[in-house]
Amino acid sequence: MGTDGTYIKGLGVLLLVVVLLFAGCARPPVAAPVLHLTDAVIEGEAVWSGEVRITGVVVVKRSGHLTILPGTRVLFTPIDRDGDGIGDSELLIEGGIVARGTPEQPILFTSAAENPQKSDWKFLYLNFAREGVIEHIISEYAFSGIQVHFCQASVKNSVFRHNVDGVRFSTVNLEVSGNLIHDNTHGLRFEERRGRAHVHRNEIRDNDIGVFVVTRSDDNSLIEYNNITNSRLYHVRLGFDQSGDVTLPRNWWGSADPQEIRPQIFDHEFDTHLGRVAIPEPLPAPLSLTLP
């Protein structure tokens, strides 16, 4: 080192240059561009990630397949083209869909409105789909959080909230398990129509109606080992054309006493044109569930 400290001064300048160079390289990552889709059709393979904004109807055709990656946000623009009070933006699956999030990175389907409301958008709709795998999603502020019709599918470990219908189906081979279905008008709504669903180990709570059996159900579906509680109107309601009986065994209703449960079941006892709802083997305590 020189007696005048030249070496130390030179080293300081060198360190300053290095720091500035690294500072120039350490720029924040560039966010992925938002994918905007308006009345679009998907006929081949498509993969969504990041943020997707949908205006109108996006259809995955029979020849198409959509994969949605963990952490993706799908936002639906509230538009009401026909003036019926239900948003008309939707995702319609005729081909295949695999929407498989993770507990840490669920896939979000929601309204793009600043102050979202029920029915801001229409639904995630699987209709004659070739494949339907739904896991670790959150679906909110829709007319139906999900509708499944005329196909085989699974809906697992997901959250359906602030919709008119949380989960709705008809004429399906469907498994619904491990879901949190809360604060909807109808938690679960279905028309069996020769289909069969297995609905088990779900938390169905704080809905106006927990389970709404609309019509043409022949008691083929198995709804068991669920917590169905805190319904604002009824735990179970039969629709006006549901004249057949329905059995919901082995569920927790907030009580194990049938005399306490019965007033929250709308069936033959309220309207003699309706069938009867049987609730055999009510569970003595709530299920301990691992929920999203």
The domain ranges of the chain are: 36-158, 164-292
Check residue 27 and give its pLDDT. 56
Write down the pTM of the prediction: 0.89
Question: Closest Cα to residue 155, out of 141, 143, 165, 145?
Answer: 145
* Burial class of 70 by CB neighbour count within 10 A (0 to 12, 13 to 18, 19+): middle
What average pLDDT score do residues 62-84 get? 98
Question: Closest Cα to residue 122, out of 137, 97, 141, 148?
Answer: 141
- The secondary structure element, H or E, covering residue 168 is strand 165-170
Length of the chain: 292
Question: Closest Cα to residue 160, out of 120, 201, 115, 123?
Answer: 123
Whole-number Å distance between alpha carbons of 273 and 103: 45
CB 168 within 8 A of CB 190: yes
Half-sphere exposure of 186 (CA within 13 A, CB side): 22
Question: Closest Cα to residue 174, out of 193, 161, 183?
Answer: 193
Whole-number Å distance between alpha carbons of 83 and 247: 38
Check residue 32 and give its pLDDT. 74
For the segment 13-64, what is each residue's pLDDT rounded down to a tens digit? 433 333 334 444 545 555 679 999 999 999 999 999 999 999 999 999 999 9
Whole-number Å distance between alpha carbons of 110 and 16: 48
Check residue 236 and give its pLDDT. 98
Residue burial 158-197, b: 16+ Cβ < 10 Å; e: rest: bbbbbbbbbbbbbbbebebbbbbbbbbbbbbbbbbbebeb
Structure tokens at 126: 């699987």
Beta bridge partner(s), residue 176: 155, 199
For the segment 117-170, what is each residue's pLDDT rounded down to a tens digit? 999 999 999 999 999 999 999 999 999 999 999 999 999 999 999 999 999 999
Check residue 134 and give its pLDDT. 98
Check residue 194 and give its pLDDT. 87
For the segment 176-218, what is each residue's pLDDT rounded down to a tens digit? 999 999 999 999 999 998 899 999 999 999 999 999 999 999 9
Check residue 28 and give its pLDDT. 53
Does the pLDDT value for residue 265 go beyond 90? yes
DSSP symbol at 272: T
For the segment 210-244, what is each residue's pLDDT rounded down to a tens digit? 999 999 999 999 999 999 999 999 999 999 999 99
CB 233 within 8 A of CB 261: no
Which is higher by pLDDT, 28 or 252? 252
